[in-house]
Amino acid sequence: MTTPTSAAATRREAPAPPGLWTGAWRVFDLSIGQMLWSRRTVFMALVVGLPVVVALVLRGLVIVGAQPFRPPATGPIVFGMMIWGFFVRLAVPVLAIFYGTALIADEVEDRTITYLFTRPVPRAAVLLGKYFAFLVCTVAVVLPAVVVLWLLIVPIDGRLSAAFPALAADLGIVAVGLAAYGALFAFVGATLKRPLLFGLLFVFGWEVFATALPGYLRQLTVAHYLQALVPHAMPSDGAVAMLQMVFRDTPGLVHSLGGLAVITVVALAAAARRVTRREYVLEH
């Protein structure tokens, strides 16, 4: 039997529960490996690996002496189009939807959220830790793919020296885009019951529609701020792309980065608040 004195001593000796950032770091440490060595990485490898495979084939054609590009395409032009087609418009939003909406929703679906929420860490720390794990995980896979692509494609009828500033910008854009879209979809995942459909509708419905219209509607998209940073010319494929270009008002660097920073911080704060306050009902 424990005497009141010894119980008080035990209470004094018990370590204080970790704060928000310490808790977030612990969740990050736990989640990063889980995320990296999961089936999702297979999907991510498919999305970012395909352009690298295409680049390898093109490079192979150069090695055997064939002209891989039909004029006027050159290495830097094809690289720019790949950044638009595979990364800015596809990999960044899709990976953010995939991982971002799953940060909390997966735990709810697997009924494991109880174990996380009964730990002595703030609920917001769970979300933040998982969010940073997502960010590190995706950045660690996508950025090397962009670099390898650049090294393979740009030297074909192009110069690495001239294309280097664009590469630096592209790497930054991918990282910033993953952060902004990821935060937004983390909030969506923490709030909605079926976040994935909303994510797809937002990226492939709303953003396409809003950026093709004049006025302020486009400012309610992430693409408006992110695509303004892309240093490559926007592909002019189809009527929607044409409308997007015609009505495109390009915000400046500070405006774009500011917009993305606001989206990231507000969405993350809202997601943390939502996770802290919401009562998750596990379905049987």
C-alpha–C-alpha distance, residues 242 and 239, integer Å: 5
Give the CA-trace dihedral at 96, 154, 232, 42, to 10 degrees: -10
Q: Closer to another protein at the Cβ: 9 or 45?
A: 45
List the interface residues with another protein, window 230-249 (CB under 8 A). Answer: 231-237, 239, 241-242, 245-246, 248
Tell me the residue type at 248.
R
Q: Does 66 bind another protein (CB under 8 A)?
A: no
- Do 224 and 169 contact (CB within 8 A), yes or no? no
Q: Does 270 bind another protein (CB under 8 A)?
A: no
Closest approach, Cβ 203 to another protein, in A, equals 9
Using the rule CB under 8 A, which residue among 19, 194, 219, 220 binds another protein? Answer: 194
Q: Closer to another protein at the Cβ: 248 or 273?
A: 248
Identify the CA nearest to 91 among candidates 125, 127, 56, 51: 51
- Do 100 and 182 contact (CB within 8 A), yes or no? yes
- Do 174 and 138 contact (CB within 8 A), yes or no? no
Q: Does 52 bind another protein (CB under 8 A)?
A: no
122 vs 43, 79, 133, 279, CA distance in Å?
Answer: 31, 44, 17, 14
How buried is residue 195: exposed, middle or buried, by Cβ count under 10 Å (0-12/13-18/19+)?
A: buried
Q: Closer to another protein at the Cβ: 7 or 111?
A: 111
Tell me the residue type at 56.
L
List the interface residues with another protein, window 20-49 (CB under 8 A). Answer: 29, 32-33, 36-37, 39-40, 43, 46-47
List the interface residues with another protein, window 132-161 (CB under 8 A). Answer: 136, 140-141, 143-144, 147-148, 150-151, 159-161
Q: Does 60 bind another protein (CB under 8 A)?
A: no
Closest approach, Cβ 81 to another protein, in A, equals 5
Using the rule CB under 8 A, which residue among 20, 85, 206, 276 binds another protein? Answer: 85
Closest approach, Cβ 5 to another protein, in A, equals 41
Q: Does 206 bind another protein (CB under 8 A)?
A: no
Q: Does 218 bind another protein (CB under 8 A)?
A: no
